[in-house]
Amino acid sequence: MTQNNDGNNEVVTLSDYRGQMTWSALKQVEAYWEGLRHGRVVPLRTDVDPRGIEGVLEHAFILERIAPGLARFRLAGLHLVDLIGMEVRGMPLTSFFTPDSRKKVTAALEDVFQGPETAEIHLTGEKGFGKPDLTARMLLLPLKSDLGDVSRILGCLVAQGQTGRTPRRFDVSDIQSRPIQVKAPEITRRPAPQPTPEKPEVVFQTDDAQKQPGFAENSQAFTGAPSKTASYLRLVTDNDQ
């Protein structure tokens, strides 16, 4: 029993709790794939390290595109082996689905490869003798090969319920495709250019200051009259030469 935001008690059954824990494997794989992108649309197949999803490795798989709408298992966890009752490497993905659902799966595969985009497929187990109710979800996330083309898929398959007689195949009840969101690069805004300060105007001093009364003495008018000292001078001649 838990308490919601309104203070009222809510009853959470054990099966609901287990279901949430089961589907969390899908979230872990998707979060790991998102971490590999580093701002790219699709990460590389060589970026995938099994140690990064070690806790849910039994549910994970790698697909390789071999034809339009057709992909085969390159790697697969033990959970998939238990569902189909045999080794799945090299088998096509459609081997997990009933004939009526295979067209839907091939269309979803092409959307993932060509979009590229991600897809989550909701599944219900095929009914029959010795086959109890079984629900499952499959996650498909695109990857690039070494050649740069989107021809690989990192996937996750989680089934909830008793497996019963194998092989267990599934009908598609819903497909949720999502376009891949790419964060726009952050733009570093440069500061607006500051106006260059004007240089102080250099004023050169001219001789006009001499014309200003405060900086020049008054000139004396020339009268042409000899000075008084002239009367004390006389011409002396040497008559002996």
pLDDT of residue 141: 98
Q: Where does the pLDDT of residue 198 fall: very low under 50, low under 70, confident under 90, or very high at 90 and above? A: low
Burial of 37 (0-12, 13-18, 19+ CB in 10 A): middle
* Beta partners for residue 135, in sequence order: 124, 160
CB 117 within 8 A of CB 176: no
Q: Where does the pLDDT of residue 181 fall: very low under 50, low under 70, confident under 90, or very high at 90 and above? A: confident
**Residue in the structure block whose two tokens are 């790991």:** 32
Distance CA 51, CA 211 (A): 96
Q: Which amino acid is at 40?
A: R
CB 137 within 8 A of CB 29: no
Longest dimension (CA), the chain: 170
Q: Give Cα 6 to chain centroid, integer Å.
A: 37
**Residue-range definition of the domain harbouring residue 29:** 6-179
Asked if residue 226 is part of any domain, the answer here is no
Predicted structure pTM score:
0.69
CB 37 within 8 A of CB 43: yes
Task: Evaluate if residue 224 carries a pLDDT over 90.
Answer: no
Asked if residue 75 is part of any domain, the answer here is yes
pLDDT tens per residue across span 6-42: 555 554 333 443 445 578 999 999 999 999 999 899 9
Number of domains within the chain: 1
pLDDT of residue 182: 78
pLDDT tens per residue across span 70-122: 999 999 999 999 999 999 999 999 999 999 999 999 999 999 999 999 999 99
Asked if residue 230 is part of any domain, the answer here is no
Asked if residue 188 is part of any domain, the answer here is no
Q: What is the mean pLDDT of residues 213-223?
A: 45
CB 149 within 8 A of CB 115: no
Asked if residue 95 is part of any domain, the answer here is yes
Asked if residue 214 is part of any domain, the answer here is no
- Between 177 and 237, the more confident residue is 177
pLDDT of residue 196: 64
Q: What is the mean pLDDT of residues 203-232?
A: 47
Asked if residue 137 is part of any domain, the answer here is yes
**Residue in the structure block whose two tokens are 């499959």:** 138
CATH number at residue 156: 3.30.450.20
pLDDT tens per residue across span 141-163: 999 999 999 999 999 999 999 99
Asked if residue 23 is part of any domain, the answer here is yes
Task: Evaluate if residue 187 carries a pLDDT over 90.
Answer: no
pLDDT of residue 10: 53
pLDDT of residue 8: 59
pLDDT tens per residue across span 128-141: 999 999 999 999 99
Handedness of CA 72, 77, 79, 81 (dihedral sign): positive
Structure tokens of 54?
Answer: 């070690």
